[in-house]
A and B are shown apart, each in its own frame.
Chain A
Amino acid sequence: MELVLAIGIGIMTGSGVWLILRPRTYQVIIGLSLLSYAVNLFIFGVGGVKSNAAPLLGEGVDVSTLTDPVPQALVLTAIVIGFATTALFLVVLLAARGLTGTDHVDGREQPK
């Protein structure tokens, strides 16, 4: 379980880092989204990886077997805020493209 998740996090991080280093704004926005998946999964994973132990209290449930709710609460808001920042970045890149006429991250094409 841990191994698969760790490999997944690694691949998403790698893809994200590769993309944020690219020259086109669209690549960067996709890269940031991938990175945020990786980071969210990582923070979530820090709380331990368990199946069928959702932090929902019920009659006769042993509290100590449940998974850690704190990283989940952190990640939950991070997901929503991540959406907001993606939207902001998208709008900024659209406005920059409208102003400069290019979708290069520097606002102008690199001289060849």
Chain B
Amino acid sequence: MILVLLVCLPFAGSLAATILLRTDSRVLAARMSGAVTLAALVLTASLYPAVRAGGKVRLDLEWLPQLGLNVTLRMDGFAWLFAMLITGIGFLVVLYARYYMSEEDPVPRFFSFLLAFMGSMLGIVLSGNIILLSVFWELTSIFSFLLISYWHHNAAARDGARMALTITGIGGFCLLAGLLVLGHIVGSYDLDVVLASGDLIKAHPLYLTALVLILIGALTKSAQVPFHFWLPNAMAAPTPVSAYLHSATMVKAGVFLLVRFWPALSGTYEWFMLVGIAGISTLLLGAYFAMFQQDLKGLLAYSTISHLGLITTLLSLGSPLAAVAAIFHMMNHATFKASLFMAAGIIDHETGTRDMRRLSGLLKYLPITGTLAMVASAAMAGVPLLNGFISKEMFFAEAVETHADSVLDRILPYVATLAGAFSVAYSLRFIHMVFFGPEPTDLPKPKPHEPPHWMRFPIEFLVLACLVVGIIPSLSIGPFLHSAVVSVLGDRTPEYSLAVWHGINTPLIMSLIALVGGGALYFVMKDYLAKCDDGPPLFRHLGGQRIFERVLVTVSWKWARWLESNLGTRHLQPQLRLIAAAGFLAGAVSLYLAGFSPKPLSFDDIDPIFAAVWCIGAFCALGAAYQAKYHRLAALVLLGGAGITTCITFVWLSAPDLAITQLVVEIVTTVLLLLGLRWLPKRSEKVDNSVSFAARSRRFRDFLLAISCGFGMFLFSYAIMTQPVPDAIASYFLDKAYSEGGGRNVVNVILVDFRGFDTMGEIAVLAIVALTVFALLRRFRPAPDSIEKPEQQRIQNAFDAERPERSAGDTVRDYLLVPSVIMQWMFPVIATFSVYLIMRGHDLPGGGFAAGITMAIAFLLQYLAGGVRWAEDRLRILPLRWMGFGLLMSAMTGMGAWLFGYPFLTTHSQYIEVPFIGKVPAASALLFDLGVFSLVVGATVLILIALAHQSVRMHRVRSLDAPKAEEA
């Protein structure tokens, strides 16, 4: 349980910090983060007894056990050591950042990201499931991106963050793929199982694939050549971020992974070559590049790259002793490098620059910080009596040993010594240029002074750690290191001794050569280095960064543009053409592959009347297609004809419910389109009669496509309909409709009972559409040429104006007088009919949908008969209330079942005796249907009325548009 708490605590702290975003206090967020980190540190420390001497703490939570994906957290000695590093240095960094961040920065955001990063990092370390590990791995990439780009107004920060995210993101993707392959080999994603099956993995044909993918993940994260270039660019981050992510934690995740999978993957020739080449070249190149940096943090970044290369090299050797040295050096490097980053931050903070060419002689102003930095860089250089010396000696000792006889192995001692000399040179340069020499002359902040004590405290603590570990290693770090080593190596744990003095031996001589050689190198090259500002010689033109940027531009800009301009279109017609063609092909190809052959046509049972009806229907459909461009009204009438044909078909083929619904929907659709016609532009056949060849061929193509689709649908539907209907679920509904649903109209019972939840979703869609229509029409601006009153109205008004005995609007009022009186009188009749439809819906054709639209038609007729104003003077319809009532009603009916302990939307049915009417079925489904009814009324009326209102709104629209036109 403590493990879950440990992982969740930083994330919780991160969320809490976001709440503090609005507060002015910058101390509060820091204090909160400090408390969270300290709590995590204490929690981790308290687990030590459980992990000592090879013990393990494990926690399993099932997540997706079917896929072998579980939340497994495990802590062993190695994970414990790393968790201590993460929480311990995390606490120091929070303390440091409290003083480092300035008043203007949004500090809570910084701490929020930092804590979230800490949580992800702990997640990596504690994951006992390799997929979970990959999830946390991605999280660290994302939070590192956010932290590097914390000062997002700075272009360098944005670019650096993007580069880091791209590189580590690609690495993370490869890692996930590699871990999936690994899981496939082993048959489990559990870390313990994976670690126990090293021999199986190494013998598997997919071993190399998994290895390469995992290595890409680890090497990108740990900034190894050739992926190293993101790290120097990430130095645009605030210094606490660099101290935390780029020395102690994130970059260590890569080598952590290598150590974690060391028992399972290492020891093969492929491992040695791949990891070794990357490690050795990184070790050497990083140290070499570091010498030529002018930026303090740039020097430290390359030095970090080089030290990570050292660790990688150690791991490549595959010997247990080398693994011990690697784990030990990880800890040592974290301590001295974090303190150096913090020191660089203090220098930057106090002087305003990190450029070593401008800094000089600072020891006078920053005596304590200077001394601390000197000790830390001595540790970095590997000076005796400091922790860096011990692990470097172990490295030299391993370098001398022969592990796998190859060129790589034979040159290793020389490379190691050379890299050691380089690291002495750059450490010396760091100290000498910054703290010694003449008085600084052109500092942005002229009077540097020591920072507040608590800002320096983390450095003091870390430097003290360097000294203690360096002088009495076996008493200080010894037992903790041992439990870590045992947890990784198990029974392969070698004999090793953590002592300062091993007598005069080859490693010591190598160390001495490196120290003397590095010192000499620096003093020879001192003047050249101070002036050199275009990067290290020999490698000036070989920029991984430049290649990266070129690839990025090519992929994300050139190729994307090419694809967009060659494959994209902003026209609707080609898209629809493609969709229609794809639909046709998808149907045709799959039918062809399934061995479809058209059925022989049978002309036996054709009813002449039905055929005649469909002759009319076909004529209407074709006519609508032909007339829709120039004769919209005719097309609308023909569309109605096709709709009526459909309706008759439903009646004919035993679907009375559908027929009723189709009929009423047909009416409202026609009215709706009629209302819309008013706002469309005039189009006359004479305007564009010049048809180009291209247009003609386009039409011909569309025509062919339409014919193919139509013919295909004909063959397909004929084949389906002549097939005997398999007994699927129909009989179930037919059997249970009365016994369980209490209704005789099976279609209605399905809608309101068996599939009631679907229906609820559908009426919700209807409500949403109605509201969208309403919202769109509130802001409706017609095109200028549609604003004028229609021709008919103008003639009528002119007629009224000419005659003195008539007042304006008389003709409109008298228009179709008899029909409108009849329509007005029809209102109660239709309303009663709609009530009748809903009441009988459960047993006979009818139901909420049909009744609702019928009711809407009743309202609509009043609008048609008397006009908008007349209708609204007499009738106040509140469609929104109808809709709200409908939704509530159906939802409450559904929830009512809960009161009786049944699932949502369970219905109850019985018959009740109503005076004068007789026995009436009263299922609770009727209430549900009432909700459907109410919503359908509301939605339909809302849509139609909103559209109808546009004609009345005319004047306001024009007066609003007029001043705009003047402005323009």
Q: Chain A: residues with CB nearer than 8 A to chain B?
A: 1-27, 29-31, 33-34, 37-38, 40-42, 44-58, 63-64, 66-70, 72-73, 75-77, 79-88, 90-95, 97-99, 101-103, 105-106, 110, 112
Contacts and interface: CB of A to CB of B under 8 A. Distances in A.
Contact of B573 (A46, A82, A105): A105
Contacts of A95: 776-777, 779-781
B713 A5 contact: no
Contacts of B209: none
Given A55-B747, A69-B746, A91-B773, A8 B614 contact: yes
A80 B762 contact: yes
Nearest to A110: B571
A100 B692 CA distance: 25
Candidate in A22, A31, A67, A87 with the most chain B CB atoms within 10 angstroms: A87
Contacts of B672: 83, 86-87, 90
Candidate in A18, A66, A110 with the most chain B CB atoms within 10 angstroms: A18
Interface string B905-948: 00000000000000000000000000000001001100100010
B606 interface: yes
Nearest to B751: A73
A92 B722 CA distance: 40
A102 B225 CA distance: 59
Interface of B: 570-573, 576-577, 580, 601-603, 605-607, 610-611, 614, 617-618, 621-622, 624-625, 628-629, 632, 635-636, 639, 642-643, 645-646, 649-650, 652-658, 661-662, 665, 668-669, 672-673, 676, 679-681, 683, 692, 702-703, 705-707, 709-715, 717-718, 720-722, 725, 728-731, 733-735, 737-738, 744-747, 750-751, 755, 758-759, 762, 765-766, 769-770, 772-773, 776-777, 779-784, 786, 843-845, 847, 849, 853, 936, 939-940, 943, 947
A4 B665 contact: no
Contacts of B939: 84
A84 to B, nearest CB: 4
A83 B940 CA distance: 9
Contacts of B751: 73, 76-77
Contact of B744 (A3, A56, A82, A105): A56
B646 A37 contact: yes
B665 A80 contact: yes
A81 B762 contact: yes
A45 B720 contact: yes
A96 B755 CA distance: 37
A63 B692 CA distance: 61
A51 B759 contact: no
Secondary structure at chain A's binding surface: helix, strand, loop or mixed?
helix
B706 A15 contact: yes
Given A17-B710, A97-B681, A12 B765 contact: no
A6 B713 CA distance: 8
A67 B762 contact: no
B617 A55 contact: no
A29 B643 CA distance: 14
B747 A34 contact: no
A45 B755 CA distance: 21
Contacts of A5: 614, 649, 653, 717, 721
23 contacts: A5-B717, A13-B713, A20-B580, A34-B642, A37-B646, A41-B649, A44-B658, A52-B654, A54-B845, A55-B746, A57-B734, A67-B653, A69-B730, A70-B750, A73-B747, A76-B661, A80-B762, A87-B943, A94-B679, A97-B679, A98-B782, A103-B681, A106-B570
Contact of B628 (A30, A66, A85, A93): A30
Contacts of A94: 676, 679-680, 780, 782
Shortest 10 CB-CB distances between A and B: which pairs? Answer: A14-B710, A10-B714, A6-B718, A18-B706, A15-B625, A48-B725, A69-B746, A68-B730, A55-B746, A73-B750
Contacts of A54: 654-656, 845
A4 to B, nearest CB: 5
A79 B714 contact: no
Contacts of A79: 658, 661-662, 665, 849
A106 B614 CA distance: 35
Contacts of B653: 1, 5, 44, 49-51, 67
Contacts, number: 324
A57 B737 contact: yes
Contacts of B642: 12, 34, 37
Contacts of A76: 657-658, 661, 747, 751, 847, 849
Contacts of A30: 624-625, 628, 635-636, 639
Nearest to A33: B639
A46 to B, nearest CB: 6
Nearest to B613: A4
Given A13-B709, A13-B713, A77-B751, A8 B735 contact: no
A9 B692 CA distance: 33
Contacts of B646: 37, 40-41
B714 A20 contact: no
A93 B762 CA distance: 24
A45 B721 contact: yes
A88 B751 CA distance: 24
A80 B776 contact: no
Candidate in B710, B751, B940 with the most chain A CB atoms within 10 angstroms: B710
Contacts of A91: 676, 772-773, 776-777, 780, 943, 947
Contact of A9 (B661, B717, B734, B784): B717
B668 A83 contact: yes
A99 to B, nearest CB: 7
A63 B734 contact: yes
A104 B316 CA distance: 67
B621 A12 contact: yes
Contacts of A83: 665, 668-669, 672, 853, 940
Contact of B680 (A16, A52, A66, A97): A97
Contact of A3 (B706, B713, B718, B843): B718
Nearest to B617: A8
A14 B516 CA distance: 89
A42 B653 CA distance: 13
Candidate in A63, A64, A91 with the most chain B CB atoms within 10 angstroms: A91
Given A3-B601, A103-B680, 6 more contacts: A5-B653, A22-B702, A34-B624, A76-B658, A84-B766, A101-B783
Given A47-B725, A54-B845, A10 B731 contact: no
A53 B654 contact: yes
A84 B705 contact: no
A57 B713 CA distance: 33
Contacts of A66: 654, 734, 746
A101 B669 CA distance: 25
Contact of B665 (A12, A24, A55, A82): A82
A15 B606 contact: no
Given A22-B628, A48-B725, A86-B669, A11 B618 contact: yes
Contacts of A98: 679, 780-783, 786
Contacts of B668: 83
Contacts of A45: 717, 720-721
A13 B710 CA distance: 5
Contact of B745 (A10, A16, A41, A56): A56
Contacts of A21: 573, 576-577, 580, 702, 705-706
A8 to B, nearest CB: 5
A68 B717 CA distance: 17
B680 A63 contact: no
Contact of B643 (A20, A27, A37): A37
Contacts of B728: 70
Nearest to B782: A98
Candidate in A34, A46, A80, A81 with the most chain B CB atoms within 10 angstroms: A80
Contacts of B780: 91, 94-95, 98
Given A15-B706, A69-B733, A10 B713 contact: yes
A11 B614 CA distance: 10
A83 B577 CA distance: 24
Contacts of A72: 655, 657-658, 747
